[in-house]
Amino acid sequence: MKEFKIAVLPGDGIGPEVMEQAVKILKVIEHQEKVKFNFEYGLLGGCAIDADGTPLPEQTLEITKNADAILLGAVGGPKWDQNPNHLRPEAGLLALRKELDLYANLRPAQMYECMAKASSLKEELVAGVDIMVVRELTGGIYFGEKKRYEDQNGKEVAVDTLLYHEDEIERIVRMAFEIAGKRDNRLVSVDKANVLESSRLWRSVVERIAKEYPNIECTHMLVDACAMQLVRAPKQFDVIVTENMFGDILSDEAAMLTGSIGMLASASLTDGNLGLYEPVHGSAPDIAGQELANPIATILSAALMLRYSFGLDDAAKRIEDAVEDVLNKGIRTADIATTGEISVGTNDMANYIAEILEA
């Protein structure tokens, strides 16, 4: 029997709640596919600070390095907001991404037909939206040097450094071209080349690599214009490639086109088979512990794990179809509910998905 080791890092806030649901779905798949998933749990983020005094304990790093894939909930919360940077939950996640060289963050934003009909946005605007945001994940301003000091007038100064090496840009851009080649052959590279030197380097690398992909229509867009175009005419986009912070922001925006940030999955990949799979959303402290969290983003992240890290494409598709079936039946968590539908909590949403999978 084929065995896969999965490092499970539930994290903080709603992280453990949505993770429980994803594991529930994976146990159904395990049974159906006749494979064995060995789940190894680790602490990351605020819970790790509380238990071990560090957001990324050595033991967690070990578990992830020995795993075939990593499934993550979310980290962070107000309890740790005033901590110094190295004792913030988010620093643990950033360190993990860097340590494992997970440089490519794929964030697919796909609109379900039944969700388009119920969207608070115009149906014709969002029906058929299918965007893949390819975000650089281990460079840029989140990883540059940070400084705090007082100027000569005694006023505080803060510095974050945005730095990119050419080869860091090259590998993510190349991956985006490859992905575009398997989709609709359209790639939009997003930068701020009218202002930022790092963006001018980014653009020149994109232009050089574009010559190797003559069949792919490659255009450039400034990030402010892209934010506007995403809400004005989202269907113009197929694949977007961009640097770390722009991708973080634009993918949250793209999420809302599809109904809720509680629906968006992501895969963080390196050059091998290892991947980290996590919902795009955070730890949502405002709804934690209330059975309100939508588990779909984490369940769909588990499906991406089956596809990208384990090659279990059929199982991944069955999960995605089961999610769509449940949505077609009008079953909704609070974040995606409109009137006249069946409103369910976190657990029941996953139970309905599991029921369809088992049918």
Tell me which residues touch ligand NAI (CB under 6 A): 14, 18, 74-77, 90, 93, 261-262, 278, 281-287, 293-294, 297, 335
- In the chain, what is the straight-line distance between the N-terminal and C-terminal CA atoms, in Å? 24
Please report whether residue 93 would count as binding ligand COI according to CB under 6 A: yes
Q: Is 145 annotated as a binding residue?
A: no
Least distance (Å) between residue 245 CB and ligand NAI: 12
**Smaller CB distance to ligand NAI: residue 19 or 205?**
19
CA distance 241 to 176: 6
Is 16 marked as a binding-site residue? no
Phi, psi of 108 (to 5 degrees): -75, 130
**Binding segment (CB under 6 A) for ligand COI, from list 88-96, 169-177, 317-325, 339-347:** 88-96
Catalytic residue ranges:
142, 192, 224, 248, 252
- The yes or no reply on residue 136 touching ligand COI (CB under 6 A) is no
- From the list ligand COI, ligand NAI, Mg ion, none, pick the one residue 94 interacts with, judged by a Cβ distance below 5 to 8 Å according to partner type: ligand COI
Q: How far is the CB of 90 from ligand COI (least distance, A)?
A: 4
Told to check if 94 binds ligand COI by CB under 6 A, we report: yes
- For residue 311, how many C-alpha atoms fall within 13 Å in the half-sphere facing its CB? 4
- Shortest Cβ 247–ligand COI spacing (Å): 9
Is residue 234 within 8 Å of residue 125, measured between CB atoms? Answer: yes
Cα four-point dihedral sign 51, 54, 55, 59:
negative
* Binder of Mg ion out of 193, 248, 322, 352 (CB under 5 A): 248
Comparing every residue's Cβ against Mg ion, the nearest one is 248
* Window 270 to 299, contacts with ligand COI (CB under 6 A): 280
What is the CB-side half-sphere exposure of residue 207 using CA atoms within 13 A? 10
Nearest Cα to 277, choosing from 73, 75, 90, 132? 73
- Whether 101 has a binding-site annotation, put simply, is no
CA-nearest of 247, 249, 276 to 173 is 247
252 is in an annotated binding site: yes
DSSP string across 216-270: SEEEEEEHHHHHHHHHH-GGG-SEEEE-HHHHHHHHHHHHHHTT-GGG-EEEEE-
Instruction: Indicate whether 168 belongs to the interface with Mg ion (CB under 5 A).
Output: no
Q: Quick check: 255 binds ligand COI (CB under 6 A)?
A: no
Residue 242's binding partner, choosing from ligand COI, Mg ion, ligand NAI, none, with beta-carbon cut-off 5 to 8 A by kind?
Answer: none
Scan residues 210-249 and list those touching ligand COI (CB under 6 A).
248
**Token pair 């290892």 in the structure block, residue:** 274
Closer to ligand NAI at the Cβ: 287 or 331? 287
Q: Give the integer Cα–Cα distance in Å for 88 and 146.
A: 14
Q: Give the separation between CA 250 and CA 13, rounded to whole angstroms.
A: 23
Give Cα 288 to chain centroid, integer Å.
19
Binding site for Mg ion (CB under 5 A): 248
Binding site for ligand COI (CB under 6 A): 90, 93-94, 248, 280
**Binding-site annotation, residues for substrate:** 97, 107, 135, 224
**Binding-site annotation, residues for Mg(2+):** 224, 248, 252
